[in-house]
Structure 1
Amino acid sequence: MTAPLWGAVPLQADEWRFGLWAPSAADVALRLDGTLHPMTRGPDGAWQVSCPARANLPYMFRVDGTDYPDPASRLQVDGPEGPSLTVDPSQFDWGSHWQGRPFEEAVIFELHIGTFTTEGTFEAATHRLADLAAMGVTVIELMPVSQFSGARGWGYDGVLIRAPQPDYGSPDAMRTFVRTAQELGMAVLLDLVMNHFGPFGNLLPAYVPEMFSDRATPWGAAIDFARPQVQAFFHEAAMGWLHDYRLDGFRFDAVHQIRDGRDQKVMRDLARDLRASAPDRPLHLICEDERNLPSLRENGYDAEWNDDWHNALHVALTGEHQGYYSRFANAPFDHLARAMARGQVDEGQPSPEEPRGAPSAHLPWTAFINSNLTHDQVGNRAHGERLISLVGETPARVIHAALLLMPFVPMLFMGEEEGSTAPFHFFCDPPDDDSCEAVRKGRRAELAGIGYEVDGMLDPCGEAAFDVSRPYPAEDADRAAAWRDLTRRLIDLRMAHIVPLLRSGKIGDGTVSRPTARSFDAAWRFEGGTLRVCLALGTPLGAVEGTPIFTMGDLARDAFALHVEITS
């Protein structure tokens, strides 16, 4: 299965190959620019045809008399249910060679193309990249851009995994975004959803039902990763994004739902093949995995989103304990101390909740991506409040500084770099009134069921929820500038002092003492020295001796304060 099984692939001159796996179909033809081309069925149900073609021609697959889009489409004429377009990515001028960046330097910036700018396009976002680079951001993590139904969405309801959402701009506009970021020294990662398809506009069950199994997931029928042809579909999709757009890697969404019956060999093989296909530059491969298992990070993946840090911090500062915060409600400051010392909180130890995870402290500190907020934890609240709106300015500044000066990989959510208080809501654009009403009722019931006050909640299907989620409203310009300056200074310190320690190599676990109930004195040893972070999160810690590289507040007097030093 070395040759692509799925999609439209230019071969030579004006010849293209088109492929579709549809094992239960009796007849499949290619309708290319109005002309039908019969396809030949292989022994495993893979249909193929080679014929003259060129870029920008519309095509569909006619399966047993009905026309369907290419599930591996690289671009649609319009919506996800209509014709696909042939795309030749080799024509784009990438300019100079890109060397990539080592992962130890990662300061990740998560952004959503649709709300990052007023225009909501790749082109508009490209004009903002120089500001991010000047601030010190080294990695852009794009929320999913795979095509979904409608004009507004987070991207996690994509139905054509390889086609960029047309509202964001053309494939070349996305390539220009990536090229510009790399010219400015920033790597670009894509959040890739391989564990489910969105509920609207997904026609695959009608013509490739074998893509799915009988197992239910929160998003519908599970994808059947036990089938090699299904594995090939997602393998080719990831490879396509990597090379068509010269990406620097991926964040793979909810990998705990990717089940192949072989201990996720499909994910281990994917990491191996992605890296082998780009040997001249570092790739950054990140997972979201609620199981807290280190196995993927031991087999080709650099890091995982560390929700343990976020959740323990959120409970410690807000006192909230609904939903997924409940397992951190008992002794959240103890949980924070464990996250500092070992990376994760849940490592398989006995717990009042169902135990989860396995020991992970043997991993490098860069295997844990820590964040104080992400699209998930902000947007999955009834009113989309950011943490700064819940805890206030001073605590937010202190934890912002701590995040950027600890040894874990820090990730900022767009707007966080300037202390934005703009909400970020869940929003979508279902195709009809009945679907909208189902989404409204579902969101209200889900959020009310875990204790949120849903009165006054914005309509997730309305334009207002989308419009107010832009992170850069006309707020106090001086305050925003002060926040940006703080972020820049912190990242400069990280590059000058923390990154060399990370490069030198880790020595053992972290150590954390608790001078008071709400404070921490943490240290991490490296071959190149020891990083010490003294952090007060609600009570003064007391006087601290040592020469700091950074301080905020007075640890002996202030409830929220920070002291960071490095010793040999």
Structure 2
Amino acid sequence: MRIGAQYQGNHQCEFTVWAPLREQVALQLEGPEPRLIPLKQDIDGYWSATLDDIAPGTLYRYQLDSDLLRPDPASQYQPEDVHGPSQVIDHSAYAWQDTAWSGVPLKDYVIYELHIGTFTPEGTFESAIERLPDLVELGITAVEIMPVAQFPGDRNWGYDGVYPFAVQTSYGGPEGLKKLVDACHQHGLAVILDVVYNHFGPEGNYTRDFGPYFTEHYRTPWGAAINYDDAYSEGVRNFVIENALYWFQEFHFDALRLDAVHAIYDFGAKHVLAQMQETVQAAMQTRAFPAYLIAESDLNDVRVINPPEQGGHNLDAQWSDDFHHCLHVLLTRETQGYYEDFGTCNDMAKVFKDRFVYNWSYSKTRKRYHGSDARHCPPYQFVVCSQNHDQVGNRMMGDRMTALTSFEGLKLLAGAVMLSPYLPMLFMGEEYGEPAPFLYFISHSDPDLIQAVREGRKREFEAFHAEGDAPDAFSRDSFNQSKLNWNLRQEGHHQSLWVLYQTLIRLRRELPALQMPAQGVESLTADCVGDQVILLQRWCDSQKLACLMNFQAEPVVQSVQIEGRWQKRLDSAEVSWKGPGSQAPEVLEVAQELTLSPHSFVLYETAQTAASFA
């Protein structure tokens, strides 16, 4: 069932809203002389009417039981913010220029996560277009946009959205978003949209007035869970599946990143994510480029991506948080919270090989066994990173890795992510070592809610009082401080880091041994050599690469037993990378000792197919 205001041309529009428990629903057309039009209900609880005198731009609300007046839950535009009327949109009015676009294969994704409001000084879709050539020059192949569903005010991370179909007004609305996606495709970039199907934001959320969108059977960090398997859940399932189709069909997105699917509770025989994938793929069969669903999940559960015949939801990819956690602890030595479960060299070696560290093994933090074996899944089904909006922004001071490790450490992080067999993701500014924080910020209009956010943040960071108070999330300063400083990318160490990322991305594309294999287990080994050194080996046919990564803050002398002749390809410690100077030899052969500089990696290449390290 298509929901919302579906403009059909020639001033004809069909209005459909799901409200199964209401006795009466009417459409109120806003204007100098408001009109109230009764809607008819079908057996599934959908109320609808098709009108012949509706122009694009028409404002409307729904009247429920002759009492409440509410915006459309499936509103496609909220020009007067979350409490105002909804607006009819004519999607056919935009002339797409991407007819030649054929997409990017998932295995070739190099993802760049960005927040529209802080990506540029203007913080709009159209201003982001100006930066696309920079991303192409870097080697990015897929842009991931943090949520743009309408939220209160003009600044927010996006996870407080309350109208999943409406594009944020302060960013540029539906037309601005289409222009950005269109421009990305013309630059050869795929586009991923971050969508939230596990909760609604707290302000402007009127879905409860329309129907049982929530269930008390499960609780999430945001309260009652969205109703995917309780009474009347079919209308809710249709709502989110229609939303996924909407982004693919009307905005030409290449993929959706599904936020925190571990907070989507559905114990029915067919999980809503499986139904979503099934519906999306059926609808996209005639499209010239693919549509992917990528799950953010901390479950380490391969059922998310396993095919239906194996009892899975059949999504295209999922995150591996374990990869990030291993890197973070090795570089920062932080062990609080869930970081307690990570930190050894063996953990890092395992996640390079096995996708997860916890694959039905005991977690001290969870105090139970966690995860499943993912080695049968191709590596391109896993997204990895060294930082992202959550890991940066959920810190009290919004610290990027730039503030938590040395410049040498930043280069080591780049090498670990880019030389892995997985889909790499960068968080905006990471490529040049952006020093600005990425803080948590909101612009709610409810004073009580603003105060509740402040108090909640204070409680969250009680353990950090020695560092001072968390920045005020409501302050515009928190938002402005989080904007990127693009001019830095052409200066000193920032420029050197940018060129390193560019070089690593190019090597991923050009070297056969770094190409994304179909399975990957047989063409990769990773071992812990000594206490804090990882030896990663990847090969393809006659080409073999060996990368040694030193996670210690001091030089390491490592004995190497080697067959054949190995040529150094890249050494992050070299002066050319603004390093302290490398002691690693240009050529490795016979048995010799190798000196690795602190927090560095060195990449060797050989035509030989056999090598052993001790």
- Number of aligned positions between the proteins: 562
Q: Could you tell me which residue of structure 2 aligns to residue 208 of structure 1?
A: 211
Whether 2:526 is the aligned partner of 1:512: answer: yes
Contact 1:506 1:527 in 2 (8 A): no
Structure 1 stretch displaced more, 499-508 or 334-343: 499-508
Q: Which runs of 5+ in 2 are unaligned?
A: 308-313, 574-581, 585-594, 610-614
* Equivalent position to 1:560, from 599, 603, 606: 599
**Cα distance, 1:496–1:459 mapped onto 2, change above 3 Å:** same
* Equivalent position to 2:297, from 262, 271, 289: 289
The aligned amino acid for 2:556 is: P
Q: Secondary structure at the match of 1:119?
A: coil
Q: Secondary structure at the match of 2:361?
A: coil
* Equivalent position to 1:183, from 181, 186, 190: 186
Q: Secondary structure at the match of 2:183?
A: helix
Could you tell me how far apart the structure 2 residues matched to 1:127 and 1:435 are? 36
Structure 1 stretch displaced more, 459-468 or 516-525: 516-525
Structure 1 stretch displaced more, 67-76 or 517-526: 517-526
Q: Which has the larger radius of gyration?
A: 2
Please list the CA deviations of residues 393-421 of structure 1 after superposition, one character each: whole Å capped at 9, or x if unmatched: 11111221231122111100000011111
* Equivalent position to 2:283, from 277, 283, 287: 277
Q: Could you tell me which residue of structure 2 aligns to residue 462 of structure 1?
A: 475
The aligned amino acid for 2:243 is: A
Q: Could you tell me which residue of structure 2 aligns to residue 252 of structure 1?
A: 258
Alignment of 1:308-347 (within 5 A): 308-328=322-342, 331-347=343-359
Alignment of 1:357-506 (within 5 A): 357-449=371-463, 453=466, 455-472=468-485, 475=488, 477-479=490-492, 480-497=494-511, 501-503=515-517, 505-506=519-520
Alignment of 1:86-125 (within 5 A): 86-95=88-97, 96-125=99-128
* Equivalent position to 1:14, from 11, 14, 28: 11
**Cα distance, 1:351–1:216 mapped onto 2, change above 3 Å:** closer
Could you tell me how far apart the structure 1 residues matched to 2:240 and 2:154 are? 24
The Cα of 1:28 is off from its aligned counterpart by 0.3
The Cα of 1:305 is off from its aligned counterpart by 1.7
Q: Could you tell me which residue of structure 2 aligns to residue 27 of structure 1?
A: 24
Contact 1:61 1:67 in 2 (8 A): yes
Could you tell me how far apart the structure 1 residues matched to 2:171 and 2:537 are? 44
Whether 2:130 is the aligned partner of 1:127: answer: yes
Structure 1 stretch displaced more, 222-231 or 255-264: 255-264
With normalisation by structure 2, the TM-score equals: 0.87
Sequence identity percentage: 33
Contact 1:121 1:167 in 2 (8 A): yes
Contact 1:110 1:142 in 2 (8 A): yes
Q: Could you tell me which residue of structure 1 aligns to residue 44 of structure 2?
A: 44
Please list the CA deviations of residues 85-111 of structure 1 after superposition, one character each: whole Å capped at 9, or x if unmatched: 111212211123210001121110000
The Cα of 1:201 is off from its aligned counterpart by 1.4
With normalisation by structure 1, the TM-score equals: 0.94
Structure 1 stretch displaced more, 530-539 or 314-323: 530-539
The aligned amino acid for 1:332 is: T
The Cα of 1:318 is off from its aligned counterpart by 1.1
**Cα distance, 1:54–1:348 mapped onto 2, change above 3 Å:** same
The Cα of 1:454 is off from its aligned counterpart by 5.1
Could you tell me how far apart the structure 2 residues matched to 1:381 and 1:361 are? 32
The aligned amino acid for 1:22 is: A
Contact 2:419 2:514 in 1 (8 A): no
* Equivalent position to 2:177, from 167, 174, 178: 174
RMSD of the TM alignment (CA)? 2.1
Contact 1:147 1:159 in 2 (8 A): yes
Q: Could you tell me which residue of structure 2 aligns to residue 156 of structure 1?
A: 159
Structure 1 stretch displaced more, 541-550 or 416-425: 541-550
**Cα distance, 1:455–1:407 mapped onto 2, change above 3 Å:** same
Contact 2:18 2:210 in 1 (8 A): no
**Cα distance, 1:541–1:143 mapped onto 2, change above 3 Å:** farther
Could you tell me how far apart the structure 1 residues matched to 2:375 and 2:546 are? 18
Contact 2:293 2:315 in 1 (8 A): yes
Could you tell me how far apart the structure 2 residues matched to 1:64 and 1:515 are? 70
The Cα of 1:359 is off from its aligned counterpart by 0.5
Contact 1:504 1:528 in 2 (8 A): no
Q: Could you tell me which residue of structure 2 aligns to residue 70 of structure 1?
A: 72
